Amino acid sequence: MKAKALLATLIVTLLLFFGIVPGVLAAPEQPLLQISSVTFSPETVSPGKDFKMILTLKNYGDYDAYNVTLDILSMAGAQDLGVFSMVGSGSHFYIDEIPSQETATIEIPMVSSPNAEAKNYNLNLKLYCESSGGTGYEFAETVGIFINESNSMSIIAPDRYTLGTDEKAVNQLEFEIANFGSNPVRGVQLGIASEGLIFTPNYQYYGTFEKDDNDSFTTAVTADTPGEYPTKITLKYLDSFNNERITERDITLVVPEDQVDASASKTENIFQQFLRVVFGINA
C-alpha cells in the first residue's frame, strides 16, 4: 500500500517537475479569442499613406464565440490613435460568430500621419465576445505597426531631353536630386548609363542629405550617331534605419545631328586638323 502511494506521489512529482499538469493543456470551457496573425497591405507602412491592417482572430476555446467585437482603442502611451487615423468604417468592428477552434479575418483601413517618425508603434485593442448563454468575455490585445521610411530621395529630371536646347551647354545634361522625406539620408550616390552614349562623369558621390536638401548633377554627353537613347539614372542611399534604398528614373535623350558633330566628333576633328597641319594628311 505504501509502495503504491509512493509511486503515485513520484508520478505527480515528475509531472509537476516537467511542467505537465493534467487538464492544464485542455482548451478552456469558454470562448477564448486571440489575434493569431497580423499582416499589412501594402506590406510596408509609410508616412502619410493609406494601408490596411489585416487581423486574423482565432477562437482557442471549447465554446463558440458570438457577437464578437473588436475596438481600436489608442496608441500605447497616448489618449488617442496618435499618428494613425481610421479610414471610413471607424474603430469598431463586428463579427457574428467564430466557432470553437476556427478563425475569422478583419480588414481595418487606416492612414498614417505624413509627419510620423520611422519606428514601431503599438496599438491597444479590445476583443469582446459572448457565449451561447450570453456571458460576456473581454480580451486585451496589443498590435505593433512598424512605419518605415518612404523613398525620401527624388530624381528631378525631364522624361525626354534633347541635347542642344540649352545654348550655354550644347552637349550637357543637367538635373537635380532632392530629399523630400522626413529624415536625413546618408551615402547618397548617383550613376547614369545608356547604351551608345558616353557620360563624363557618369557617377557622383554626394554623402549626407538633410531633409529638404537638394543638389544638381551635370554631365557631358558624347554620342557616335544621332537618335533617341533610353537612359537610366540610378540613385542609391542609406535611410535612417541603415537600409539601402535605390531610386531609378528612365528618361530618353535625343541626340540631333549637329550634337554628334559638337560632341563625339570634336576630338576626332582636332586630330584630323593636326594631321593636316603637321603632315599634310587628310585623315
Cell of 164: 542642344
65-78 tens-digit pLDDT:
999 999 999 999 88
Q: What is the pLDDT of residue 265?
A: 46
Closest CA to 61 of 88, 97, 86, 7: 97
- Coil, strand or helix at 79: coil
Sign of CA dihedral 211, 212, 215, 216: positive
Cell 550655354, residue?
168
Q: Is the CB of residue 70 less than 8 Å from the CB of residue 127?
A: yes
Cell of 127: 476583443
* Sequence spans of domains, the chain: 26-146, 153-276
Compute how many other C-beta atoms are within 10 angstroms of the C-beta atom of residue 51.
21
Rounded to the nearest 10°, the torsion over CA 21, 26, 32, 37 is 90
How many angstroms separate the CA atoms of 126 and 130, rounded? 14
Q: What is the pLDDT of residue 267?
A: 46
Same fold, 26-146 and 153-276: yes
Q: What is the pLDDT of residue 171?
A: 85
Q: What is the pLDDT of residue 272?
A: 52
* CATH class of the domain comprising 26-146: mainly beta
Q: Which long-range contacts (CB under 8 A, 24 or more apart) does 131-139 make?
A: 131/30, 131/31, 131/63, 131/64, 131/65, 131/66, 132/63, 132/64, 132/66, 135/30, 137/30, 137/31, 137/32, 137/33, 137/65, 139/32, 139/33, 139/34
How many angstroms separate the CA atoms of 223 and 256, rounded? 10
Q: Is the CB of residue 216 less than 8 Å from the CB of residue 257?
A: no
The domain made up of 153-276 has a fold known as Immunoglobulin-like (2.60.40)
Strand order in the sheet with 50-59: 33-41, 50-59, 103-112, 84-86
Where the chain has pLDDT below 50, the residues are 1-9, 12-13, 15-25, 168, 262-268, 270, 276-277, 282-283
Cell of 111: 492612414
149-204 tens-digit pLDDT:
777 899 999 999 998 766 545 689 999 999 988 788 999 999 999 999 999 999 99
Reported in sequence order, the residue ranges of 90-226 that DSSP labels E, i.e. its strands, are: 92-98, 103-112, 120-130, 136-146, 153-156, 160-162, 172-179, 185-193, 197-200, 203-209, 214-223
Q: What is the pLDDT of residue 23?
A: 42
Indicate the residue type of 131.
S
DSSP string, 222-251: EESS-EEEEEEEEEEEE-TTS-EEEEEEEE
Q: Is the CB of residue 71 less than 8 Å from the CB of residue 57?
A: no
Q: What is the pLDDT of residue 8?
A: 46
